[in-house]
Structure 1
Amino acid sequence: MSKEIEIEFKSMLTKKEYETLLRYYNVSDEQFVTQTNLYFDTTDFQLKQHGMGLRIRRFADKAEATLKIPQTIGLLEVTDPLTLNEVDEALAKDQFAQQAAEILEQLETLNIPLSDLHLIGKLITNRAEFMISEGKLALDESWYSEHHDFELELEVPNSGFDETAFKQLLAKFDLPYRKTQNKIVRAVSAQQEQNKEMEGL
């Protein structure tokens, strides 16, 4: 289990802008890691109402569950490690992983039982992540429902770094600032759209 404050800035990219950044930073194929993000909430979106996000992130050989809790500055991330078998079990039951003890303890304070948490969205990201002078930079290519997009994320170590400094980083590459929704919001919205389309068939 771990707890840390996450302060990050993000902006959407076009495919051309994304490829320009990959070339500038000499990103190799070996630097990319594929991760499957599985998002959970109650059917009436109680976590969303609290501004929280709950996900299981699956890698090739391991997995982890993370609950994001809004703070005055940034987000508190509570993370529990999981095995791949535990993730498979959770998906088979359409229920959040019962082994994420610290997260479930946090959710108990909100009176949200494990049995109420179901899969609400899925997003696959191919991510290259590395350090630059401003912080940890992530270049993401993501797929969810019928959507495919590109994104830049900058995670910074302290609250003294503000959006103006982030925009200066974008300006260095002549990139416009595009305010973006979090991945969980994009994935869930796309899933809801797809469900409506299926219902209309």
Structure 2
Amino acid sequence: MSIQSEQEFKTLITADQAAALQAKLAFTPAFGQVNTYYDTPDFRLQHAGLGLRIRQFNTRAEETLKLPKGPNRLLEEMTDPLTVSEARQLIRANSIATHGQIRDYLLSQQIAPSVLQQFAAAVTRRRLLDQPAGKLTLDETHYPNDTSDWELELEYHDAQAAKAYWTQLLAEFAITAQPATNKVQRALANVIISQAD
């Protein structure tokens, strides 16, 4: 179990901009993660600014809850570890873990874990690069309706150093910052688009 605070800059970018970034910056090799998102039928979590998911990697999994904690995209991320087998069983059962700090937090907010259900999913290929100003993340995310997007993010602790680096990086790669909704909202939007087709 862990609770971490994170503050970040992020923007959606084009595939060409992503290719240019990868050609010039030494990102780690991409690794995959499969996200399954949960909410109540009336989207109480989203209305409260929360995001709940089960995330699967190759050899491990986790259940995470993101909570807004202040201005400038300050978030708190609550994480309960899962085995890959546990994660797969929970997803098959359309359920979340019956133990852990996330369950306890939801109950404290009068949200019964039993009413949560899956509403969206996404598969992300993630590339990371540690920089003096923070951790740079390049994500390529695919949704079940065959759409995809690229997102560039800088997670930081020193706002002044991060802002200077972020501004220089966007200028260098001719990126115009686009407000990026979080992946939970983008996954939901792609579900709605798919159902409308």
TM norm structure 2: 0.92
For residues 136 and 4 of structure 2, the distance between their equivalents in structure 1, rounded to whole angstroms, comes to 18
Q: Counterpart amino acid of 1:15? A: A
Please state whether the residue corresponding to 2:7 is helix, strand or coil.
strand
Q: Distance in 2 between matches of 1:177 and 1:71?
A: 23
Distance 2:191 2:161 in 1: 34
C-alpha contact 1:167 1:177 (8 A) present in aligned 2: no
Report deviation, 1:109.
Answer: 1.2
**Any gaps of 5 or more consecutive residues in structure 1?**
none
Aligned residue number for residue 45 of structure 1: 43
* Distance in structure 2 (CA, Å) of the matches to 1:71 and 1:196: 34
Match of 2:117 in 1: 118
Verify the 8 A CA contact 2:26 2:129 in the aligned structure 1.
no
The answer on whether the counterparts of 2:27 and 2:128 sit within 8 Å (CA) in structure 1 is: no
3-state SS of paired residue (1:71): strand
Per the alignment, residue 152 of structure 1 pairs with: 152
Matched, 1:191 2:184: no
Please name the residue that 2:65 is paired with: 67
Cα distance in 1 for partners of 2:185, 2:164 equals 24
CA distance in 2: counterparts of 1:133 and 1:162, whole angstroms = 9
Name structure 2 gaps, 5 residues minimum. none
The separation in 1 between residues aligned to 2:69 and 2:4, in whole angstroms, is 11
**Is residue 127–residue 139 contact of structure 2 (8 Å, CA) maintained in 1?**
yes
1:153 partner amino acid: E
Distance in 1 (alpha carbons) for counterparts of 2:80 and 2:8:
21
CA-atom RMSD in angstroms: 1.7
Deviation at 1:52, TM superposition (A): 0.6
Residue 182 of structure 1 aligns to which amino acid in structure 2? N
Q: How many residues align?
A: 194
| Residue 26 (structure 1) aligned with residue 35 (structure 2) | no
Mapped to 2, the partners of 1:18 and 1:189 lie a distance apart of: 22
User: Is the 8 Å Cα contact of residues 64 and 81 (structure 1) preserved in structure 2?
Assistant: yes
Following TM superposition, by how much is the alpha carbon of 1:13 offset from its aligned partner in structure 2, in angstroms? 1.1
Superposition deviation, residue 189 in structure 1? 1.2
Distance 2:49 2:91 in 1: 24
Q: Look up the equivalent residue of 2:51 and give its one-letter code.
A: G
3-state DSSP of counterpart to 1:88: helix
Q: 1:17: which partner in 2? A: 17
What displacement does 1:88 show?
A: 1.3
Q: Which is worse superposed, 19-28 or 32-41?
A: 19-28
In 1, are the aligned partners of 2:156 and 2:162 still within 8 Å (CA)?
A: no
- Post-superposition shift, 1:16? 0.9
